[in-house]
Structures are given as C-alpha cells and as structure tokens.
Amino acid sequence: MERIKKKSKYTVVSLFSGIGGLDLGFEFAGFKVIWANDFDKYAVMTYRKNVNDNIHLGDIRELKDSIPNHDVLIGGFPCQPFSTLGKLAGFKDENRGNLFFEIADIISQKKPKIVVLENVKNLLNHDKGKTFNTIKTVLEDLNYTVYYSILNSKDFGVPQQRNRIFIVAINKEMFKSAYFKFPKPTKLSITTQDLLDSSVDKKYFLTRKISKTILGEGTKGYIVKPTIDKQISKTLCATMHKMHRASQDNYVTDQSSFSLFEDDNRINIRKLTPNECRKLQGFPSEWEQVVSDCQAYKQFGNAVTVNVAYEVAKVVYRYLEENLL
C-alpha cells in the first residue's frame, strides 16, 4: 500500500493497540497516533520497535485519565469474550468483557469526532444480538451515529479469510448530516503461495509423529477433513504456536525448503512462519521481530489486518475532510 503523503492533520488515540495493525493503517492514511495503550508487555515491545514510542504499558482503567484530547479514537477491544473460539462470556467476563464501557467513559469525557472499533464477527450475534445492541445504544446515547460492517481481509489485498466487524461512530455535533460509506471490496490478485518464504528452517516442518495428529480427521465426535495448501489462508489465530489440526490451522507443502536439509523424522509439510503471518496481516516488509516465535504468532493472530485498517482510515479521513463543521 502507498502511504498518503501529507502532514498529519488529525490526531488519533489508540486503545488495546496490540502491535499496531489498526494504528499503522491510520498512520499510513495521514493520521497521527499521539497516544496508544496495551497491557501486554511483549506487544508494547514490538509496537515501540516498529510503530512509535507513544504507547503506554498498563491497564486502561488505570491510565485513561492521562489520555490527551484527540480527533479520532480507535481500538480493537478484547475479542475473546465474544469469539466462538472462547467461552462467549461477553460482558460477564469481568477482566475483558466489560472493557467496552471503559471506552464509553473515555468517549463521554473526550468527545472525539469519530470512533472506530474493531472486533470479531460474532460480536454481532453474541447473546442473540443483545451485546451488539447494547454497544450501539450506548454510543447513540453519547450522541453518536453508529455505522457498522463486516469486512474480510481477503477483500483488501491479502489472502486470508478473516471476517471482522468494524464500528464507526460519528459525533452528531461536529458533522454535517452525511452517510458514512465503508470501503468497497477489491478483487484479490495474490495467493498464500505468493507470500511464502523462500527458505524455511526445518523446525517449522511437521515431524512424522505429530503429522498423524495434525493431518488426521479427528476422533469420535470431532471428524473434520484436513485441508492444506489453501490459496486463501484460514483465519490466523493467537494460539497458532500450538499447531492445531489442519482443519483449523494453516499448513503448506514446501518441497523446496525441505530439500535443503536431511531429516528422516520430518515430512515436507510445515506450518506458516511468523514472517509469513506478518505478510498475511499486511505488516510492512521492514518489520522487525523482537520477541519469540511464540509471542510473534500470538501478536499476528490478535492483530488487525493493516490493509483493512488502511482502507477504513482513508474513508474516515475523507469523511472528516468533506463533512466536518
């Protein structure tokens, strides 16, 4: 993607920033992230190395009083309480599920012009729609007009099947009456195979012993056909380091790298490398991995796809330019 070359006109505060996928999208679109936050020390380490030094480590509940005034508030608030891969505790999750209300409190205090939030697709259906309706109602009660859309990473230049809900809330007091339009999908021109590393260490290849489980069809009540070499990758997840079954995780055949070493205990099928996960999430080529592979998999699995964030940020910028009173 080509970064918009203009002096930053609008300021951004980022909550639950992770390694900055949403932040980079907004920076590339011409915004300036002046304050960011995450409670994971490894994510903050990666963010500081690759994005900027404006990130603050700690619990947002303890840091929110230090948040400066800003034009746009963004955040991929914790998705685990709403994900079908989790316990679906939602707002009942006292540690993570109720953090949306911290966002609402910040909005009520700072009154940003626009709010952009991201979460898993299932947020829309969680608790028969009650969770999302609560979020929408809270934002509307704060005098914001709420728009939302499900955006898939594969529709924005990266070969990954990743559906996420994006919520855009517009401060009614600051804009002319105008409908907000989300970015339109584009035709995908590359495959996962186009992004694979040219030379991969043997540690990423399956051992013969574990391959029987990884490539198996499951047991008893869990029977799923394994799939590998997908042109469009399955959704990257935070627990990729655990190597789930091939029906859930991404595995590729790589005879080229396999032929570079001799190991009778391994086969020519491997998991994705952290660097390939980086590419599948749209992070730039100059990105530096400063954490372990385990942490890198977690970080890319939790991240917002930069390409999608960038396209959303561009239409937000345009909306500000055309409709701000």
Q: Could you please report the per-residue DSSP string of 193-219?
A: GGG--SS--GGGEEEHHHHHHHTS-EE
Catalytic site includes residue 79: yes
Three-state SS at 119: strand
The identity of residue 205, as a single letter, is F
Tell me the pLDDT tens digit for each residue of 36-47: 999 999 999 999
Residue 194 confidence (pLDDT): 98
Residue 94 confidence (pLDDT): 53
**Is residue 178 packed enough to be buried (19+ CB in 10 Å), middle (13-18) or exposed (0-12)?**
exposed
Q: Mean pLDDT of all residues in the chain?
A: 93
Asked if pLDDT for residue 129 goes beyond 60, the answer is yes
Kindly list the strands in the beta sheet with 114-120, ordered across the sheet, starting from the edge strand earlier in the chain. 55-57, 32-38, 11-15, 72-75, 114-120, 163-171, 144-152
Tell me the pLDDT tens digit for each residue of 69-98: 999 999 998 865 554 455 555 455 554 458
From residue 221, give the alpha-carbon distance in Å to each of 3, 217, 224.
49, 11, 10
pLDDT band at 219 (very low <50, low <70, confident <90, very high): confident
- From 79, 237, 277, 294, the catalytic residue: 79
Residue 90 confidence (pLDDT): 46
Q: Which residue has the tokens 């980022």?
A: 14
What span, in angstroms and rounded, lies between the C-alpha atoms of 323 and 136?
A: 22
Three-state SS at 223: strand
Q: Which residues of 91-106 are buried (b: 16+ CB within 10 A; e: fewer)?
A: bebeebbebbebbbeb
Asked if pLDDT for residue 293 goes beyond 60, the answer is yes
Residue 82 confidence (pLDDT): 56
Asked if pLDDT for residue 104 goes beyond 90, the answer is yes
Asked if pLDDT for residue 151 goes beyond 90, the answer is yes
CA angle 126–306–323, rounded 5-degree value: 80
Residue 134 confidence (pLDDT): 93
Give the number of residues written for the chain.
Answer: 325
Residue 3 confidence (pLDDT): 59
Asked if pLDDT for residue 53 goes beyond 80, the answer is yes
| Largest distance between two CA atoms of the chain | 68
Average of per-residue pLDDT across 252-274:
97
Three-state SS at 70: coil
Token pair listed for 313: 């940020």
pLDDT band at 2 (very low <50, low <70, confident <90, very high): low
pLDDT band at 222 (very low <50, low <70, confident <90, very high): confident
What span, in angstroms and rounded, lies between the C-alpha atoms of 118 and 114?
A: 14
Contacts of 258 (CB under 8 A, 6+ apart): 202, 205, 266, 267, 268, 270
Asked if pLDDT for residue 310 goes beyond 90, the answer is yes
Task: Give the chain's domains with CATH numbers.
Answer: 11-188+304-323 (3.40.50.150), 198-272 (no CATH)
Residue 92 confidence (pLDDT): 55
